[in-house]
Amino acid sequence: MVVTAHYITPDFKIKKKIISFKEVKYPHSGFAIEEALVSCLTEWGIRKKLFTLTVDNASNNNTACDLLVDTHKYELMLEGAHLHVRCCAHILNILVQDGMKIIHEGIKKIRELLKHIVSSPSRMQAFNEIAVVNGLPTKRGIALDIPNRWNSTFKMVAEAIKYKTVLNSYANQHAEIPPNEQEWSTTDSICKFLKTFEEATKAISAHRKPTSYMFLPLIVSIWDALDNPSWQTSVALQDLAAAMRIKFEKYWGRDFDESNQPIPRRNKKDYDVNLGIVIATMLDPRGKAEYAEFFYQKICSNIDQIDSSVDAALVWMKKYFLEYEQRLRRVNAYSVTYSSEGSICVGSPVLAKRQLGSKFANFKSSRRKTRPPKSEFDIYFEEDCVEDIEKFDILTWWKAHAEKFPILSVMARDFLAIPLSTVSSESAFSLGGRILGESRSSLTPEMLEALVCGKDWLFKEKDADNEGQQISEDQTSEMVTFVTPSD
């Protein structure tokens, strides 16, 4: 199991660190995962810094999250109310895989044909000779897909469409079976439709920049794509949209009755969207609460649910705000007390005069009947949304406004650090497979972990400073959000 920590530093630099790469003994139950995770957090001394946990949709991961909240709720922010974050990349994968079953036969023929071509250098040469005749660039090799990763299948099929004429000619010359014209046409139209989903997968899989505030716009764009007749220009695309919509409704949408009318969900939270992610979107100054309202208008089935959903998000955001305010007050009070120790000169008449002046100022302040100042929470939402420019950097904006919104800016560092996918952690398994190969099969688990973590920690961005800094109780005050996929 790999555990990856994501956090944003006080200077608004996002960091990602693999902090554990350990074997989990069989059976890989939710209890085993929870125990391994708590052990990792304890070892690092950051159990009280756990903010959210991004995992895939395996049932043992769900159990682990429930156990973590039940047994460690008093160490978690607001008792872990929004601890569990589902991996959006996995849900998108499931969504598209169901849709791509429609072109299963065409994909199968393309895959088998490409396998035949790459099976020997002479066949690859024959393919390139046909490509040259058709004015297309030659290829050193052809990347085959990984069937359980739809974007790899998409890339394979998209590349095959470019070489459609070459593949048909090659198949005829070597007695292979290419897709027929109808299958080519259907595959082409569906690939154009899925291009949007590929871009969405890339966006939410990033781990060196914030992604959590992209979630609601992503859901809205998918909903529009599946619900917009102008996209569905053929029967195949209509069938694709219908298949994908079923899975969309399961994870992010509404339940429907036999007459296809939306109904309230039973035994399940309405519109299964983590409110922590909704708050992250409201911390985007370009949309604030207005975008949350826009989102729920798209997803909810009636006006009452729209209003109640937006109100619930604002209530929870205010709860977090008050919690952060209390924590910052405790930190500031401790700093003031600590810095003033040892500076008191007993019996100093000058000091006594200053103390009297301070007390009188407080007395005058308590006697005045002035209007209480507005909270920065209210000011943030009362101000107009900022302009949505092309290269808007949300971390730069919060860094520039940290002095104006001291509490909200600390909140933003934690909520914007929430990863929407476990892709960054899953890549560690690929790295581990390359390190622990046939020629290095005697490495100990501890050495393998050291190599995987070392490779990740030594990564240096172009403008990054102190990328290798440790995550410890002494050095950081920010909450840490994690992704923990099991292999």
The answer to whether residue 472 is domain-embedded is yes
pLDDT, residue 4, reads 92
Q: Is 106 exposed, middle or buried (0-12, 13-18, 19+ CB in 10 A)?
A: buried
Q: Rank 138-147, 171-180, 303-312, 438-447 by mean pLDDT and report only the highest.
A: 171-180
Confidence band, pLDDT 50/70/90 cuts, at residue 57 = confident
* Domain shared by 38 and 157, yes or no: no
pLDDT, residue 297, reads 86
Mean pLDDT score of the chain, rounded to an integer?
Answer: 81
* Domain shared by 275 and 411, yes or no: yes
Strand partners, 255: 263
pLDDT, residue 262, reads 46
pLDDT, residue 486, reads 45
* Domain shared by 396 and 475, yes or no: no
pLDDT, residue 487, reads 43
pLDDT, residue 302, reads 75
- What is the per-residue pLDDT across 235-251, written as a single tens digit (0 to 9) for each? 878 888 888 888 787 77
Percent of the chain with pLDDT over 70: 81
Residue carrying the six token digits 């923990």:
484
Confidence band, pLDDT 50/70/90 cuts, at residue 394 = very high
Round to whole Å and give the CA distance between 52 and 77. 9
* Domain shared by 81 and 107, yes or no: no
pLDDT, residue 474, reads 38
Q: 299 or 328: which carries more pLDDT confidence?
A: 328
Round to whole Å and give the CA distance between 3 and 17. 9
The answer to whether residue 355 is domain-embedded is no
Q: Which of 184, 202, 220 is the last residue of a domain?
A: 202
Assess whether pLDDT exceeds 90 at residue 382.
Answer: yes
The answer to whether residue 216 is domain-embedded is yes
The answer to whether residue 335 is domain-embedded is no
The answer to whether residue 39 is domain-embedded is yes
* Domain shared by 409 and 468, yes or no: no
Q: Which of 309, 182, 175, 163 is nearest to 235 (CA)?
A: 182
* Domain shared by 317 and 391, yes or no: yes
Q: Which of 107, 122, 108, 103 is nearest to 170 (CA)?
A: 122
Q: Alpha-carbon Rg of the chain, whole angstroms? A: 28
pLDDT, residue 462, reads 55
Lowest average pLDDT, out of 43-57, 78-92, 346-360, goes to 346-360
pLDDT, residue 130, reads 93
pLDDT, residue 319, reads 95
Q: What mean pLDDT is predicted for residues 47-56?
A: 91
Confidence band, pLDDT 50/70/90 cuts, at residue 470 = very low
Tokens of 350: 């000058």
- Structural contact between residues 90 and 422, judged by C-beta atoms closer than 8 angstroms: yes
Assess whether pLDDT exceeds 90 at residue 11.
Answer: yes
Cβ atoms within 10 Å of 349's Cβ, excluding its own: 8
Q: What mean pLDDT is predicted for residues 338-361?
A: 54
Terminal Cα distance for the chain, rounded: 6
* Domain shared by 67 and 167, yes or no: no
- What is the per-residue pLDDT across 107-146, written as a single tens digit (0 to 9) for each? 889 989 999 999 999 999 999 999 999 999 998 888 888 8
Tokens of 370: 């002035």
Confidence band, pLDDT 50/70/90 cuts, at residue 461 = low
Confidence band, pLDDT 50/70/90 cuts, at residue 464 = very low
The answer to whether residue 300 is domain-embedded is yes
pLDDT, residue 284, reads 95
Q: What mean pLDDT is predicted for residues 435-462?
A: 79
Q: Which of 176, 202, 228 is the last residue of a domain?
A: 202
- What is the per-residue pLDDT across 152-206, written as a single tens digit (0 to 9) for each? 888 888 899 999 999 999 999 999 999 999 889 888 888 877 777 787 888 888 7
Tokens of 374: 């507005």
* Domain shared by 180 and 292, yes or no: no
For 433-454, letters b (16+ CB in 10 Å) and e give: eeebeeeeeeeeeeebbebbbe
Q: What mean pLDDT is predicted for residues 260-279?
A: 61
- pTM of this prediction? 0.78
pLDDT, residue 238, reads 82
Lowest average pLDDT, out of 2-6, 190-194, 262-266, goes to 262-266
Round to whole Å and give the CA distance between 326 and 320. 10
* Domain shared by 310 and 186, yes or no: no
Q: Amino acid letter at 127?
A: F
pLDDT, residue 480, reads 61
**What domain count does the chain have?**
3
* Domain shared by 162 and 220, yes or no: no
Confidence band, pLDDT 50/70/90 cuts, at residue 466 = very low
Q: Domain range for residue 112?
A: 97-202
The answer to whether residue 213 is domain-embedded is yes
* Domain shared by 12 and 51, yes or no: yes
* Domain shared by 281 and 399, yes or no: yes
The answer to whether residue 92 is domain-embedded is no
Assess whether pLDDT exceeds 70 at residue 106.
Answer: yes
Q: Which of 145, 170, 202 is the last residue of a domain?
A: 202
Q: Which of 80, 75, 56, 157 is nearest to 114 (CA)?
A: 157
Round to whole Å and give the CA distance between 127 and 170. 6
